[in-house]
Amino acid sequence: MENIKGKVIAITGASSGIGDAAAKLLAGYGAKLVLGARRADRLEALVAGIAEAGGEAVYAAVDVKRREDLTAFVNLACEHFGRLDVMINNAGIAPISPMDELRVDDWDNMIDVYIKGVLYGIAAALPVFRKQGAGHIINTASTAGISTRPTMAVYSGTKFAVRAISEGLRQEAGPHLRVTLITPGFVQTNLADSMTNATVQAQIIEATEKMAIPPVAIANAIAFAISQPATVDVGEIVVRPTAQA
């Protein structure tokens, strides 16, 4: 993991779950972290822990539904560390429900976070990477972006979109920019907290308790992609529980 040392890595959704695990792991490998999420108090504690362990990190309150927040987030990286090497678009919610319930506000939120939020992250980081002549965009998708199931239509739709956006960007990126799609299955996170349908929420919590893998499993996949030589682009990594169908 020597290739990670000294890299400036920005992570959205860093206050819990995969983002939190990735921040701690990458800091341990010597990365300089720029951490964003809506819950600034959790970010403050995370940055303090990283600093206590000898790492370097800064944070900012970020709502990925706001393009200006992502622009300011990337600017923070450049102002504080002088550059940005990796942008990890990882923020997530999952208010899944049957289509007949017409929870349009939930649909809008998922579209805003997973599609527009990823695009805003790309829009903020891509000009910096072009100017530098190097950079790496990592987008977090889901196995729901490989196949869909009842109650997951809109969520899956956004993850299929992230897959298409990532692949399209990879094809346009050229020889100096890297694009990676990280595709997790069931992971031990608090994603179920955002679910507004109590029945679906209970089903997801039950499935998570039975077979979910720890967030560090996904963090390890992220670290693997970053650690590769500049000439190696890891296009996608799918990481799911062995027990997941």
Known catalytic residues? 155
Up-side HSE of residue 130: CA atoms within 13 Å toward CB? 10
Up-side HSE of residue 41: CA atoms within 13 Å toward CB? 0
Angle between helices 153-173 and 117-132 (to 10 degrees): 10
CA distances from residue 219 to 42, 130, 224 in whole angstroms, order as listed: 18, 26, 9
Up-side HSE of residue 98: CA atoms within 13 Å toward CB? 4
Taking the C-alpha atoms of residue 111 and residue 202, their distance in angstroms, rounded to an integer, is 23
What lies within 8 Å, CB to CB, of 186 at 6+ separation is: 207, 208, 211, 212, 213, 240, 241, 244
E strands, the chain, where? 8-12, 32-37, 56-61, 86-89, 135-140, 177-184, 236-239
Taking the C-alpha atoms of residue 95 and residue 151, their distance in angstroms, rounded to an integer, is 10
User: Is 241 in contact with 212 (CB distance < 8 Å)?
Assistant: yes
Taking the C-alpha atoms of residue 25 and residue 121, their distance in angstroms, rounded to an integer, is 22
